[in-house]
Structure 1
Amino acid sequence: MIIRVLGVCIVAIVVFGCQKKQEVDLIVFNAQVITLDDNAPEAQAFAVDQGKLLYAGSDEQVFDRYESKKNLDAQTKVIMPGIIDAHAHFYQLGLGLQEVDLRGTTSKEEVIKRISDFVPYQNAEFIVARGWDQNDWIDQSYPTKEDLDAVFPEVPVALQRVDGHALWVNSKALSMAGINRSGPVPGGMIMGDAGGNPTGILVDAPCDRVLELVPEPTIEISTQALISAEQYCFSMGLTGVHDAGLRRPVIELIDRLQEAGAFKMKIEAMVANIEPDVSYYLDKGPLVKHRLRVGAIKVYADGALGSRGAALREPYSDAPEHFGAIITPMDELEALADRALKAGFQVNTHAIGDSANVSVLRVYQEALATHIRAQDENVRWRIEHAQVVPPDYFEAFSKNIIPSVQPTHATSDMYWVEERLGEGRMKGAYAYNSLLAKAGILALGTDFPVEYVNPMLTLSSAVYRRDTAGYPESGFYPDQGITREQALKGMTLWAAYANFSENQRGSLQSGKDADFILLDRNPLTCPLEELSEIKVLKTYIDGESVYDSERPFGL
């Protein structure tokens, strides 16, 4: 009996001790891995094959099972899942990289100087740029068309406010658009003087009358915009972006570039609520590919607080006669909601003011309560921004009505927003902790190029609730901050959930896409004031290196 048992043990040792290791494409080891997998939150190494993570564990466990001709020694650096920006304007970022950036200007004179000094504009047939914010200027009054006319009398000029919800234009642009009287219009405002003459500031809907005159980018310009945006986002650790509003030609260009292997960023393409694009995609049904998903319609319920276009239930505290404006009438949203449910599409609606949020929530609740499909399935509709929500409406949010928020809006707006909203409405403004408590999930994004691309600013703003200079010392409504782990999930796993891809990405688990980044410090343990300073060292998509800080883009 003893001899027989000993023989069995010897056989087992020979069989398992000599078992051939599995050959894989990549082994990453000697790392501090933040997996964001609740069942195994930490690891030291993992194996990747054919773009998928096979196994994560200790160095010893991984090397016992796998071997590879390509091994990455992380040198104890931190690794986490690739970041997914749940709300951004990726294509617009790329176009903007070919224009002058007006963010950070402190006066209208500085804006005009930047435009004048930008060489590509010197022979332009139409000057377009973005990023000014009068709230950041010493003189916070709106600029006028005369300011631009003095330097650009003949060429049309259209300068988008940082939020994209207002235009500063010159007389040439107004004339071309046929705008000659001021006043409220459906979905917006043409600002004017006492005599009813346009001053050169357009808010929301009338902006389209000017922008539709801007020559469409060529295929070459659009392609370069996508590639430029991709490279920039890779350097920031993004491996996925939900682009909040794209037209069909751009979506199809992304698809072609991806199929050709020339574009690797994973894109959730929300279809802009413009016909005939909406009908085209609703008729086809959701398109789901490995790196491209088209399964949501992006709607605008209102404008933005900075330009006083956000729709409020009571007047603006600093403009007592003004309420903002609803852009998409609720009966139109109701009709679209019914069509989207039948087609299997998400409805992702921009809502900033409390009137817009309440109106959209009511439409969503009615649609989801009465439609058979919504009762049987998880449709995951979203409210984009959810910026000012009456506290008694927090409970309307869930994993089926998802709050998609951008924490840097809080730390960008905090210098002036209390004056605009008043103390009472601030109880429901930028209330990320309260929204998370009710919904159980927060999809986090930046809204770039409205804000900067850097997702570490998102992390810092969500948790620390201060700007990069540490202001305010006590934090901006600090009780609405969330934990570091919650913020990281909002930038990865919950963002993936918000477009039905949580089984493919968002955490480093067996079978998921090998999308990951290396960081210079640990976001879970570094001092709070250092969160915004975290640097991305390397970015991988499907196990392939797409960015290395030591060799940026092959340079």
Structure 2
Amino acid sequence: MRVRGLAVLLSCLCAAPAQADVRLLTAAAIHTGEPGAPTATALAWDDASGRVLAVGERKALLELYPLAALTDLGDATVVPGLIDAHAHLMFLDSTLMQADLTGATSKADVVARLQRFAADNPDGWLLGNGWDQNQWAQTDFPTVADLDAAFPARQVWLGRIDGHAGWANSAALRALAQQPGQRALAGRWQPAGGRIVRDARNQPSGVFIDGAMELVRAAIPAPTQAAREQMLTRALRKAVSQGLTGVHDMGVSREDLALMRRFADAGQLPLRIDAYADGNNAALDDLCTHGAYRHPGGRLEMQGLKLFMDGALGSRGAALLADYSDDPHNRGLLVTSPEDFETAVRKADGCGMQVATHAIGDRGNRIALDTYARVLGSRSDRDHRWRIEHAQVVALQDIPRFAELGVIASMQPTHATSDMGWAQDRVGPERILGAYAWRRMLAAGAHIALGSDFPVEQVDPRLGLYAAVTRQDRAGQPPGGWQPDQRLSAAEALRGFTADAAWAGHDERQVGRLQPGLRADFVVLDRDPLSVPPAHLADLQVRSTWVDGRPVYEDAAR
């Protein structure tokens, strides 16, 4: 009687629609995301608005809405829509149309994959993405010579798995040299915020890190508008098929936002995009001129910007306070100077925008925290929800500062399980204690939000749940998990991809939980993620994905 009364009460919090406009769904378990709330078995929503009316027991809601259209999911489990708090849709767009080098075991494997891809894509630059020298027997960076024998004339450009380095062949370097005003690549000079890897003769070896990659990218013809539309369509379709109902897209240009807006206008956005402007550029200027952008359909917004502090750990571009343990005299790169970074933060603050900063190394994180502290001043206790993206290697004494400054640690569980084989080699046994330290962040009182950083990692939040709870690879290694004291519970991991991610995007009054008045965004799974053994989390099957109470993906096999 108590649960039925609750269902009736909650239904009255929204304007009562006609019975014919009510949709009712029943399932073995419905997790609302409300702390302490019992597991429900029925969910009702207004079909016109797509907002939840009531959550409770099946019998109570069937009595309350006897004429509602009923969907019985049987033994399935429903969870709030999964939100990836750090991803790159437009980057995914491009990688889906390039050679997939993820998991390549050697340089020869990379070349073989490129040859197969080139046979079906014979024209233009040969592009690929996903190589990782840390997975090879010889972990040194590759060179032009490794590509030239197979591709002597066609330009080749291959992005590293982390997006912070690229590998070119000699034909690509020749094309780069022909760009107007291009400085000779040989010598000792380095571009701002980047590094050209050179050999003993000071000739470019073929690898470009962080800011140096822009030199090569400038020589690659831009995709056509039709190609960009196709790329975005494929990326969106991929995301919803994995159970994502929302994405925080980090680093969106004015042009990218315009493309997304056209999709939203046409009703072609199947999920919600929280777009973050690409640094101190045109998109931020638009925000400062016109204010935060929100599409009237509720599926696209931009009210913050994403900045870069340093590079990535895998390519030794993450900025460290001391030398890399496996590369003496190297402390990584600051992609943005501290002065330019603070200028951008102050500009965004003055325009009322949320700030999110990529910081991976302990020096990068400290500069970001120090800058936030100076700019916020006495306002650090206000509800600003500024973020540090990745917060991957943090000095132990800096971890409490996240809570003190009200800064969200936006972290990606699969980074830990991808990097665990070599991360300690980079930073040593002491600094590793502050790396991928989810539990230490929570214990210090920080808010964390979880994501994947796709396409650096796979577009699959189930892998994130698995990594967060087990800290193991898919083979179950190492036994007990890597740094197991930093594991999260299944409930904490699920909250990181739902309510906590929504809060990080200022969206908690719209999504992240299933309660009356919020949008009916949810995912139907074959099993209960809060009940299955942790080893099975990555194997959960997405039966369907719903946004605004409408299915945007359904498993065709069912």
Match of 1:252 in 2: 258
Count of aligned pairs between the two proteins = 531
Given that 1:21 and 1:67 are in contact with CA atoms closer than 8 Å, whether structure 2 keeps it comes out as no
Q: CA deviation at 1:474?
A: 2.3
Instruction: Indicate the residue corresponding to 2:357 in structure 1.
Output: 349
Find the residue that maps to 2:495 and give its secondary structure: helix
Structure 1, gaps ≥5 residues long: 1-18
Deviation of 1:123 (Å): 2.9
Does the 8 Å contact 1:115/1:121 carry over to 2?
no
What is the identity, as a one-letter code, of the residue corresponding to 1:125? G
Q: Distance in 2 between matches of 1:492 and 1:549?
A: 22
Hey, what's the Cα distance between the residues in 2 that align with 1:416 and 1:368? 36
Aligned to 2:154: 155
1:372-521 pair list within 5 angstroms = 374=379, 377-398=382-403, 400-521=406-527
Going from structure 1 to structure 2, the CA distance change for 1:181 and 1:542 (only over 3 Å counts) comes to same
Bigger CA radius of gyration: 1
Matched, 1:296 2:296: no
Indicate whether 1:268 and 2:274 are aligned.
yes
Q: Which amino acid aligns with 1:457?
A: L
Asked if 1 retains the 8 angstrom alpha-carbon contact of 2:27 and 2:77, the reply is no
Match of 2:535 in 1: 529
Structure 2 match to 1:126: 125
In structure 2, the residue matched to 1:5 is none
Counterpart of 1:504, as a letter, is Q
Counterpart in the other structure of 1:22? 19
AA paired with 2:43?
F
Alpha-carbon spacing, 1:182–1:199, altered in 2? closer, same or farther (3 Å): farther
How far does residue 63 in structure 1 lie from its aligned partner after superposition?
A: 1.2
Answer yes or no: is the 8 Å Cα contact 1:121–1:127 preserved in 2: no
Maintained 8 Å contact 1:27/1:67: no
Does the Cα contact within 8 Å between 2:75 and 2:526 map onto a contact in 1?
no
What SS is found at the alignment partner of 2:138? coil
Is the CA contact (8 Å cut-off) linking 1:402 and 1:439 kept in structure 2?
A: no
In the alignment, residue 268 of structure 1 is paired with which amino acid? D
Contact 2:250 2:306 in 1 (8 A): yes
> Of residues 367, 377, 382 in structure 1, which corresponds to 2:375?
367
Q: What's the CA shift string for 1:25-74, capped at 9, x where partnerless?
A: 41101330011112524211011112111100001111121144531101
- Judging changes above 3 Å, is the alpha-carbon distance between structure 1 residues 171 and 68 closer, same or farther for their aligned structure 2 residues? farther
SS in 2 for 1:422: helix
CA contact 2:468–2:488 (8 Å) conserved in 1: yes
Using the TM superposition, give the Cα deviation of residue 245 of structure 1 relative to its aligned residue in structure 2, in angstroms.
Answer: 0.9
Q: 2:285 aligns with which of 273, 279, 283?
A: 279
Question: Cα 1:244–1:464, aligned 2, differ >3 Å: closer, same or farther?
Answer: same
Are 1:218 and 2:224 matched, yes or no? yes
**Structure 1 residue 551: deviation in Å?**
5.5
Alignment CA distance shift 1:242-1:486 (3 Å): same
Looking at structure 1, the residues matched to 513 and 492 of structure 2 have their Cα atoms a distance apart, in angstroms, of 13
Equivalent residue, structure 1, for 2:135: 136
> 1:396 & 1:121 partners in 2: Cα distance?
52
Closer/same/farther in 2, CA of residues 501 and 203 from structure 1, 3 Å limit: same
How much does 1:152 deviate? 1.8
Classify 1:30/1:420 alpha carbon distance in 2 versus 1 (closer, same or farther; 3 Å): closer
Kept in 2, the 8 Å contact 1:24–1:47? The answer is: no
Cα 1:166/1:68, change in 2 over 3 Å: farther
Q: 2:147 is aligned with what amino acid?
A: L
Alpha-carbon deviation of 1:182?
A: 5.1
Amino acid at match of 1:444: L
Residues 419-475 of structure 1 deviation map (CA, whole Å, 9 limit, x = unaligned): 111101011000001112224421100001101111111111111111111100021
**2:70 matched to which residue of 1?**
71
Structure 1 segments, 4+ long, off by >4 Å, are 119-122
Alignment of 1:533-552 (within 5 A): 533-550=539-556
Displacement of 1:175: 2.7
Which residue of 22, 28, 32 maps to 1:31? 28
User: CA 1:42–1:21 in 2, change beyond 3 Å: closer, same or farther?
Assistant: farther
Distance 1:122 1:221, change over 3 A: closer
* Equivalent position to 2:341, from 333, 344, 347: 333
**What is the TM-score normalised by the length of structure 2?**
0.92
Contact 1:27 1:68 in 2 (8 A): no
- How far apart are 1:288 and its partner, in Å? 2.0
Residues 182-209 of structure 1 show CA distances to partners (whole Å, capped at 9, x for unaligned) of 5444212111111111110111111011
384-393 or 439-448, which deviates more: 439-448
Report the 3-state secondary structure (helix = DSSP H, G, I; strand = E; otherwise coil) of the residue aligned with 2:99.
Answer: coil
What residue is the counterpart of 1:180 in the other structure? 185
Residue 7 of structure 2 aligns with which residue?
none
Output the amino acid matched with 1:45: A
| TM norm structure 1 | 0.92
Whole-Å separation in 1 of the counterparts to 2:387 and 2:229: 29
Question: Aligned residues: percent identity?
Answer: 40
Q: Which runs of 5+ in 2 are unaligned?
A: 1-15, 178-183
Assess if the C-alpha contact under 8 Å between 1:149 and 1:171 holds in 2: yes
Alpha-carbon distance in 2 for matches of 1:548, 1:384: 32
For 1:424, what is the secondary structure of its paired residue?
Answer: helix
List per-residue Cα deviations over 1:380-402 (Å, max 9, x = no partner).
Answer: 11000000001111111138310
| SS of match in other structure, 2:392 | coil
Question: SS at 2:551's partner residue?
Answer: strand
